[in-house]
Amino acid sequence: MRQVIELHKTVSTRLKQAMRQVIELHKTRRSRHLSTNARSYVGTTLSSDHKIVITTFELGCRKMWGKTKHTTNSRNKANIANVVNNHECRAKYQQLDTRLGQIYLDNTPNETWQLVKRVIVDTAKETLGETTRTRPNRTPDETITNLSTQQKQLRIRIDNTRDKQNKLKLKQERNLILHQIIKRVAYRI
């Protein structure tokens, strides 16, 4: 829906007579606040009878989405704090060097790369370990965690199915799981 905004501005005054001009700016309602300080000018310096409209627009980029979601793989990062002045790291690096030397290059390049990657990742996990969770575990009960992952998977399946009967069955299953979670949480409290 387009909306016409009329701004009445005094442009010039002549002998007790105020000449007013109507500026019509066609904008959508969502972008109305972006235009500020609109003025129209008419004068002899222009070669035609058109009017000049000068306005200020405030334009910029906005972030469309909120917080970025972290995948489970991005949470398991190497614990870099253990690297600083650690003698075990040097010993493990020597082990990495010997393990990499034992890899045969007779395989295909893809297989060789997979072996090299596995050796590097295993050595890094042995040496540094993984970082701890930054957020506390909200469900210390293992059964609640399993039930919540099941209901999340069912929610995804419900969203992706188009068959109404199948969707109703999945909703009933999900509701049963949700009731079990609620009973378990209420029992813990």
* Alpha-carbon torsion, ordered 99, 104, 105, 109, to 10 deg: -80
d(CA 34, CA 62): 14
Q: Give the predicted TM-score (pTM) of the model.
A: 0.31
pLDDT digits (tens, 9 = 90+) for 145-183: 899 999 999 999 999 888 999 999 999 999 999 999 888
Q: Return the domain boundaries, the chain.
A: 2-57, 75-127, 142-188
| Mean pLDDT value across the chain | 71
Q: What is the mean pLDDT of residues 137-144?
A: 75
pLDDT digits (tens, 9 = 90+) for 21-75: 444 455 566 666 667 777 777 665 555 556 667 777 666 666 665 555 555 555 4
Q: Which tokens in the block code for residue 58?
A: 């405030």
* DSSP 8-state code for residue 104: -
Q: Is the pLDDT of residue 10 over 60?
A: no
d(CA 119, CA 161): 41
